Structure 1
Amino acid sequence: MTDYKKVLVAVDGSDESDKIITKALAIAGDSNAQLDVVMVFEPLLGSYSFELNMADFEKVQKEHQEQVASKMRAKLAAVSPSVPAQQVHFQRGKPATEIKKLCEELGSDLLVIGSHGHNPVRAVLGSTANAVLHGIHCDVLTIRV
């Protein structure tokens, strides 16, 4: 097996995130690699955007992100309290794009990602995992969830 130096694990906050993080921790531990965790928030769309002005919409978006980030931090602390806060990244944008960009910035040599996201529409239209594969510079391990 390849010795990895920097492992990035992408999660979506679903119940399956624990399984993905656990696998990434095992791989990082075997290689004595740095582990970073990323969660990407997609902009909220839909009925909110029609009922709120932009300032209110931005406030709703930030509150939602803070709530989800807080739950993710708690979940991560329960699974692995050894991952420092500066290695937990919360991004905003299109998941595949943001994951690839962070992977490049960190110099990650392995990306660990789940095979399915928590959005049922995405399962029909194509997954983030599949989109990440195109143009990424490092190895990708997809965990079946």
Structure 2
Amino acid sequence: MATYSHLLIGLDLSPESQQVVDRVKQLFADRDVKISICHILEPLAFTYGGDIPVDLSDVQVQLEDQARTRLAALAEQLAIPEEDQHIVLGQPANEMRRMAKEEDVDLIIVGSHGRHGLALIFGSTSNSVLHGAPCDVLAVRIAEDD
């Protein structure tokens, strides 16, 4: 079996992201692998309140800054250098698949909440990443608090 040489971790930056980071540490701590980490922000477009456009670009910048800070804290736990920490605007599954192709990634790692039924159909980023991914995908099951 081939070993992985470049991992891409896709995080939503929720508190549960720590579980994904912990699993990566468990599985790859003693391996010589390159690890990239990303968070995909869906862009805030201009919204219109009646006839007056509202510019949300300042809010977008604030969201990016907050995401960068949170991502850096998680990346530090895995010793991921700043150049391998990515905040990207776009649709999460599409952007992760694009990054995997462009960066020659051979394993994408994402968290999965174990949704089923309609919740799976309408909102599973991990499922969307899997379909059409250019490489293997590891979905880390997120333990839900009871």
TM-score by length of 2: 0.81
Q: Is the 8 A contact 1:4 1:31 kept in 2?
A: no
Matched, 1:95 2:92: yes
Q: In structure 2, what is the equivalent of residue 115 of structure 1?
A: 112
Indicate whether 1:27 and 2:27 are aligned. Answer: yes
Q: CA deviation at 1:90?
A: 0.7
Structure 1 residue runs without a partner (length 5+): none
The aligned residue for residue 125 of structure 1 is 122
Cα distance in structure 2, aligned partners of 1:57 and 1:65: 12
Change in 2 beyond 3 A, CA 1:69/1:84: same
* SS at structure 1 position matched to 2:86: strand
Residues 47-67 of structure 1: CA deviation (Å, up to 9, x unaligned): x8235745x311211112212
**Could you give the per-residue CA deviations for residues 56-88 of structure 1, whole angstroms, max 9, x where no partner exists?**
3112111122122212222332x33x1100011
- Secondary structure of 2:47's counterpart equals helix
Count of residues in Structure 1 that have an aligned counterpart in Structure 2: 137
What secondary structure does 2:68 align onto? helix
Greater share of strand: 2
**C-alpha root-mean-square deviation of aligned residues, in Å?**
2.4
Return the letter of the residue paired with 2:18. D
Which residue of structure 1 aligns with residue 47 of structure 2? 49
Greater fraction helix: 1
Q: Which has the larger radius of gyration?
A: 2
When residues 58 and 72 of structure 1 are mapped into structure 2, their CA distance, relative to the original with a 3 A threshold, is same
- Between the aligned residues of both structures, percent identity stands at 31
Q: Matches of 2:67 and 2:57 in 1, distance apart?
A: 15
Aligned equivalent of 1:40: 40
Query: Could you tell me the TM-score, scaled by structure 1's length?
Result: 0.81
The equivalent residue for 1:67 is: 66
Q: Secondary structure at the match of 2:48?
A: helix
Structure 2 spans left out of the alignment, 5+ residues: none
After the TM superposition, list the runs of 4 or more consecutive aligned residues in structure 1 that deviate by more than 6 angstroms.
none
